[in-house]
Amino acid sequence: MNKTALETYEVTLEPSGNQIQVNEGQTILDALIRNGIQTPYGCRHGSCSACKARVLEGNYEIMGRVSEYSLLSFERDDGMILLCSTLPESDLVVEIEEEEEEGVTFYPVFDFEATVAKNEQVTPDIHIIELELIAPKSVPYAAGQFFEFKVQGESELRSYSAATRFTDNNKLQLHVKRIPNGIGSNYMCDLEVGATVNASGPYGKMQLRDRERNLVFVAGGSGMAPIKALLEEVFSKDFDYEAWFFYGARTEQDLYLVDEWLEWERKYPNFHFIPALSNLSDDSNWSGERGFIADVLKNKMDSCSGMDAYLCGPPIMCETVTDALYEKGLRGKHIYLDEF
Ligand SMILES: Cc1cc2nc3c(=O)[nH]c(=O)nc-3n(C[C@H](O)[C@H](O)[C@H](O)COP(=O)(O)OP(=O)(O)OC[C@H]3O[C@@H](n4cnc5c(N)ncnc54)[C@H](O)[C@@H]3O)c2cc1C
Ligand code: FES
């Protein structure tokens, strides 16, 4: 073991032979990203299993947040790990998939401080929070990416996606849904203007891959945030194809930014906004689409063949919409998603 006074471990990557230093308490994935090494990942907190790899030599700890389902016991016995949730306890040799995914741009990760410039409640449980970056003043990222925030009194970080396509005027916009008894979301939603927050990023691979085709976007709840950033990116230049934005909520009061999206429809004839409500009371006079967003998509779209789809929302929404897209002829490699 080559443990230095700084408590740093050397991790050798196979088959490339690349080596990185990982600090004690730092996950292997975090060190990989900060060293500009691209490998598959998604949630960064042990749920999606996208970052599976195998340890060939050395000692390590798999963090408690990794469930039995995310990493099965026979996989653990076989040396499999989730890179996002494994802490080295010695120098390691790890077999990973090193890849440069087509269409994914790598942006360096910054640790930064920001103050709250605005915190507006826009539905009973969603807040639009605007942060003003202090140091550094700007953090480059791709539309669709997310940042990780320190939550007071909590060791685990929480992820929130950028809701604009870049930091406009040093501002980073987030849409945060308050979860009952949720530590991070309540901390964020209760932030007062002027409060300081600490974060790092950008992270994530739900980036715009190809604008030379028809595009379908689907979001539920605060999943609107990265989808809004992606749509801003699409329409920031000439876009000669069609883009549909399906947005699912429960009732009228759970909708937000509707006027802005309707304005987009007037401005861009090739943009189509389809909000749908799934939990209306009998006396509601809502004249738009009713039902779950996956069913609405199936009714509205004749075929999704040849399109790219971007989804963001709760796991059940992503699952049912993926099934609906398959039914409409769209294949998995053209579906990009973040679940939360
Ligand atoms: C890549 C990524 C991007 C994300 N971007 C955003 C974003 O832009 N906006 C946003 O609001 N959130 C986003 N999230 C989710 C966010 O990171 C937190 O997981 C969420 O705010 C809940 O954290 P919490 O600390 O409040 O809840 P916790 O204290 O961690 O959990 C409290 C309880 O709530 C349950 N719970 C957790 N999440 C949900 C949920 N969504 N619905 C219902 N119950 C839940 C937990 O299982 C637990 O029982 C993102 C997550 C990921 C992985
Ligand atoms: S489980 Fe590691 S990135 Fe999702």
Q: How far apart are CA 185 and CA 243, in angstroms?
A: 31
Three-state DSSP state, 142? coil
pLDDT at 2: 52
Six-digit token string for 176:
């945060």
What are 244's two structure tokens? 């549909």
Its CATH class, for the domain covering 8-95, is: alpha beta
Residue 250 burial class via C-beta count within 10 angstroms: exposed 0-12, middle 13-18, buried 19 and up: middle
| Cα separations in angstroms, 50 against 29, 45, 129, 172, 249 | 11, 11, 29, 27, 28
> pTM score, two decimals?
0.94
Is the distance from the beta carbon of residue 182 to the nearest atom of ligand 1 less than 6 Å? yes
Strands (DSSP E) along the chain, which ranges? Answer: 8-14, 19-23, 52-57, 60-62, 80-82, 86-88, 92-95, 110-121, 126-135, 146-149, 158-161, 171-177, 196-203, 215-220, 243-249, 271-277, 289-290, 308-313, 335-339
**Is 200's C-beta closer than 6 angstroms to any atom of ligand 1?**
no
Q: What is the pLDDT of residue 257?
A: 98
Beta bridge partners of 119: 129
Locate the ligand 2 atom nearest the alpha carbon of residue 83 and give its number.
2
Q: What is the pLDDT of residue 6?
A: 67
Q: What is the CATH number of domain 215-339?
A: 3.40.50.80
How high is the pLDDT of residue 5?
A: 64
Residue 332: the pLDDT is: 81
Ligand 1 near 184 CB (within 6 A):
yes
Location of each CATH 3.40.50.80 domain in the chain? 215-339
Write out residues with Cβ below 6 Å of ligand 2: 41-44, 46-51, 70, 82, 84
Q: Where in the chain is the domain with CATH 2.40.30.10?
A: 110-203
Residue from 145, 179, 256, 316 whose mutation best tests the ligand 1 pocket (most atoms within 8 A of CB): 179
Task: Using only the alpha carbons of the chain, give its radius of gyration.
Answer: 21
| Ligand 1 pocket check for 149: Cβ under 6 Å | no
Which atom from ligand 1 is nearest to the alpha carbon of 158?
A: 17
Q: How far is the CA of 83 from the centre of ligand 2 (A)?
A: 7
Q: What CATH number was assigned to the domain covering residues 110-203?
A: 2.40.30.10
Going residue by residue through the chain (340 aa), what tens digit of pLDDT does each one get? 554 566 899 999 999 999 999 999 999 999 999 999 999 999 999 999 999 999 999 999 999 999 999 999 999 999 999 999 999 999 999 999 998 888 889 999 999 999 999 999 999 999 999 999 998 898 999 999 999 999 988 888 999 999 999 887 799 999 999 999 999 999 999 999 999 999 999 999 999 999 999 999 999 999 999 999 999 999 999 999 999 999 999 999 999 999 999 999 999 999 999 999 999 988 899 999 999 999 999 999 999 999 999 999 999 999 999 999 999 999 888 999 999 9
Q: How many Cβ atoms from other residues are within 10 Å of residue 152's Cβ?
A: 11
